[in-house]
């Protein structure tokens, strides 16, 4: 009886004073200690390190050349103008072609899709085979891939040029796509293989008894389980293909240069006035597409990284 009344009183108290909930386990109010102030200061400096240049780039791109000549790089534009953006996109010159960055943008898009499809298709199947099927010399092959992941591109650049030239794809979109696929394969294969290693062995065993077909199991069972890791790889690949300069400048012909290469050409022009506003706008235009991808699928990206387990 006493228990019940006690409980009732407690409940009443809680109801009566909703703002003072949980007085039975009082907790100390957290205070910001000296150590965390130091961390905050450090983090702020780190953030400024990235934000200040970004701020300068953004405001400069909206200024007129007249204002830029005044030399106050931190000041806001007197007149906000999109002239530089328009000029960079439509009229800026790369070499003798003055069609602006948009040429490079479309080239980059055209490079992106075949590169993405080739590189992911190649490595997802390899990773699947290595993780879930008995492949002879699988460990030796994995070790080889691991080594390949550490070979700098510059070392194999010249042989790759010869190889792509001899099969006739040098200087074309397909040449760039093939090189992207080959170079991304070691790391992507390891990523897929490690992800698939976590799939319970009994599921693949059941599938082997049920179907036994390599491709059917891949398409019907494994691929639908790969959503998370595909998002991760997709973001990694989109960013690295879009931001790539060296492969594009080496393997791209005159008509197939990606946005980054055109951007570099715009900015390294050595005659006339340096149009800072144009350059800044061009740089921002080039950086925007990967950012958009991050905003669209960033949420899944975090999920994909943290979701290790595939529980039934």
Residues at the contact surface with other proteins, assessed by CB under 8 A: 200, 202-203, 205-213, 216, 220-221, 224-225, 310-312
Nearer to other proteins, 72 or 209 (CB): 209
The SS3 assignment for 32 reads coil
CB of 183 to other proteins, least distance (A): 31
Looking at the Cβ atoms of 297 and 310, the one nearer to other proteins is: 310
Of the pair 118, 217, the CB lying nearest other proteins is at 217
Nearer to other proteins, 97 or 303 (CB): 303
Beta carbon of residue 198, minimum distance to other proteins (angstroms, whole number): 12
Contact status, residue 278 vs residue 87, Cβ threshold 8 Å: yes
DSSP 48-106: HHHHHHHHHHHHHHTS-HHHHHH--TTSPPSS---HHHHHHHHT--BTTB-S-THHHHH
Shortest separation between residue 91's beta carbon and other proteins, angstroms: 50
Tokens for 172, please give them. 């074309």
Q: How far is the CB of 226 from other proteins (least distance, A)?
A: 10
Is the separation of the CB atoms in 58 and 284 below 8 Å?
yes
| Nearer to other proteins (CB atom), residue 152 or residue 212 | 212
Q: How far apart are CA 274 and CA 280, in angstroms?
A: 11
**Are the C-beta atoms of 304 and 229 separated by less than 8 Å?**
yes
108, 242 Cβ separation under 8 angstroms: yes
The least CB distance from residue 307 to other proteins, in Å, is 13
85 vs 79: CA distance, rounded Å: 14
């Amino acid at each position: 009886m006493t228990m019940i009344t006690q409980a009732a009183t407690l409940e009443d108290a809680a109801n009566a004073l909703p703002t003072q909930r949980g007085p039975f386990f009082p907790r100390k109010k957290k205070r910001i200690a000296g150590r965390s102030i130091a961390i905050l200061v450090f983090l702020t400096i780190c953030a400024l390190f990235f934000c200040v240049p970004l701020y300068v780039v953004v405001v400069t791109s909206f200024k007129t050349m007249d204002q830029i000549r005044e030399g106050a790089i931190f000041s806001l534009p007197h007149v906000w103008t999109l002239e530089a953006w328009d000029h960079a996109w439509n009229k800026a010159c790369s070499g003798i072609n003055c069609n602006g960055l948009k040429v490079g943008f479309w080239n980059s898009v055209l490079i992106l899709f075949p590169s993405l499809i080739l590189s992911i298709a190649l490595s997802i199947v390899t990773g699947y085979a290595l993780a879930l099927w008995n492949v002879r010399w699988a460990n030796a092959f994995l070790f080889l891939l691991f080594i390949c992941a550490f070979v700098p591109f510059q070392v194999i650049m010249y042989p790759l040029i010869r190889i792509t030239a001899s099969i006739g794809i040098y200087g074309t979109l397909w040449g760039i796509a093939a090189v992207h696929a080959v170079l991304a394969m070691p790391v992507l294969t390891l990523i897929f293989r490690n992800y698939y290693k976590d799939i319970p062995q009994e599921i693949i065993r059941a599938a082997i008894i049920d179907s036994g077909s390599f491709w059917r199991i891949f398409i019907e069972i494994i691929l639908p389980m790969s959503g998370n890791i595909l998002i991760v790889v997709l973001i990694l690949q989109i960013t690295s293909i879009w931001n790539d300069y060296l492969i594009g400048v080496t393997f791209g012909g005159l008509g197939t240069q990606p946005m980054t290469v055109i951007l570099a050409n715009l900015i390294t022009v050595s005659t006339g006035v340096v149009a800072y506003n144009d350059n800044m706008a061009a740089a921002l235009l080039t950086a925007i597409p990967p950012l958009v991808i991050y905003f669209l699928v960033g949420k899944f990206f975090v999920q994909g990284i943290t979701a290790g387990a595939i529980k039934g």
